[in-house]
Structures are given as C-alpha cells and as structure tokens.
C-alpha cells in the first residue's frame, strides 16, 4: 500500500491592521479533529507569517518535505461577514499595503507575461456545497484580493502544475469572528462564530480528504470534478 494521502492545512499570523487572525487557531483545531474518515489521511499544519518572502520560502519547502496531495489554505477577510471560497487568483499584487516586514512589492504583477488569472478548479464548488450544508453563510468568490492571500493562492495554483506537486489547492477567506463568547447585542448584525467556522472548515476538510483518497486510488480526474468547466 502506498503512503497515506497528505493534506497541507495553512493559515496566517496577524498582520498590520489585524492583530487577531482566527486562521491560526482554526488550523490547530483542524489538526486535532478525531474523525474515522480522517484516519487514513495525513494532516500537516502550517501558519505563514504575512510576508511575501515567507510564502516564497516556506511553501516550496513544505511541498518538498511533505509532498502533499492537496492544499487547504485559510486567510482572513476582516471586512467580509461570510465565508468566501476563492475560485481563482489574480496576477496582481498591491503596491499600497506593505507586508508584515514592511516590504512593498515594486511590480504590479506576480509573474510577468502570465495570464491575468488562474483558476483553482471545479473542486471549489464541492467545498462550497460542503460548507453551506453546515448552515454557515458561504459564497463563491472571484477575487482573492491583492494582498498575501491572493499571492499565496497564485503560488499554490502554480505548484499544482509542477510535476510532483499537489494535485488540488483551495483557498478560503474567513470573516473576523468574535474572540470571546459574549452574547450578541440586540439589533447588531449576526456574525459567524468561531465554532460555526470550525464546522464549515471541518466539512471542507472532509471533502478535501475524500478527493485526496480518490486521487490515491487513481480515480480519473473527470470523476473527481464531475465536470471540466471552471468554477
């Protein structure tokens, strides 16, 4: 029997303007889930510093060391009140906001002469449906932004096209959830709680595990996606 399918689960540390990033704690919770369906799947967790250099250095090292079959990545979208499953990455990087090392990127594009966007693939629809079944407000997104989340998304999609790289990658933006358990004030907007976020992330992890196990069994790609059309 070959090696167990491996899923690399990632989050980000706090960054300028966001002193609390719930994806750190979310990755930890997903690593410690005890579910029979995950017994035959290896889970590796990693939390990136919010810097371009860290992504460029650590993502290739993680892939080379662990040879993951799938990447399930999470980032914070503090101004979005729902869960966003990203369907593509843009070949664009902001020149306005520096990263956590105060580095500003000089180029407006990630890769010169490359396509303006790259798609994750039709499996994103499966993750979206899995999250929605938990009752959380989850929606497909056409833009991962212009900051580190988009940059990591682009580099992850690149990795899926390299021989020996992961076959699947997905990026999920999560809202800023309350840190405590205080009750919501009457009339205030309903917010996603951390436990609801964990439930949705667990559902997406389980779906990713199913896809990884199918890959390990060498199921044809058409059966994995159900379609060749983009998300």
pLDDT, tens digit, for every residue of 35-90?
988 888 999 999 999 999 999 999 999 999 999 999 999 999 999 999 999 999 99
Nearest alpha carbon to residue 84 among 29, 153, 15: 153
Burial of 78 (0-12, 13-18, 19+ CB in 10 A): middle
pLDDT at residue 174 tops 90 = yes
Most confident of 18-22, 179-183, 202-206: 202-206
Q: What average pLDDT does range 189-206 have in this prediction?
A: 92
**Angle, helix 22-31 to helix 194-216, in steps of 10 degrees:** 50
Instruction: Kindly give the pairing relationship between strand 138-141 and strand 83-86.
Output: parallel
* Banded pLDDT at 183 (limits 50, 70, 90): very low
Structure tokens belonging to residue 218: 């060498």
Question: Which domains does the chain possess?
Answer: 6-225 (3.40.630.20)
The phi, psi pair for 223, rounded to 5°, reads: -75, -25
Burial (0-12, 13-18, 19+ Cβ within 10 Å), 122: middle
Nearest to 144 by CA among 98, 218, 76, 50: 76
d(CA 91, CA 113): 10
The pTM for the full model equals 0.88
Average confidence (pLDDT) over 31-38: 91
pLDDT recorded at residue 226: 41
The pLDDT score that the predictor gives to residue 185 is 47
Return the percentage of the chain with pLDDT > 90, whole number.
71
Listed in sequence order, the residues at least 6 apart from 79 whose beta carbon sits closer than 8 Å to its beta carbon are: none
């Amino acid at each position: 029997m070959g090696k167990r399918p491996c899923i690399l689960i990632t989050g980000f540390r706090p960054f300028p303007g966001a002193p609390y990033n719930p994806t750190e704690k979310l990755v930890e919770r997903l690593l410690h889930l005890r579910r029979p369906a995950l017994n035959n799947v290896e889970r590796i967790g990693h939390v990136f510093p919010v810097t371009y250099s860290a992504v460029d250095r650590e993502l290739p090292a993680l892939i080379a060391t662990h040879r993951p079959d799938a990447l399930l990545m999470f980032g914070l979208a503090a101004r979005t009140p729902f869960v966003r499953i990203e369907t593509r990455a843009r070949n664009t990087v902001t020149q306005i906001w520096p990263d956590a090392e105060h580095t500003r990127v000089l180029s407006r594009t990630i890769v010169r002469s490359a396509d303006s966007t790259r798609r994750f693939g039709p499996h994103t629809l499966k993750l979206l449906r899995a999250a929605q079944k938990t009752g959380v407000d989850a929606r497909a997104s056409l833009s991962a932004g212009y900051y580190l989340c988009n940059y990591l998304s682009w580099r992850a999609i690149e990795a899926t096209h390299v021989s020996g790289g992961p076959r699947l990658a997905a990026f999920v933006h999560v809202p800023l959830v309350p840190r405590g358990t205080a009750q919501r004030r009457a009339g205030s907007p309903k917010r996603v709680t951390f436990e609801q976020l964990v439930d949705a992330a667990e559902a997406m992890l389980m779906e990713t595990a199913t896809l990884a196990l199918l890959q390990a069994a060498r199921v044809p790609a058409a059966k994995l996606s159900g379609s060749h059309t983009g998300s």
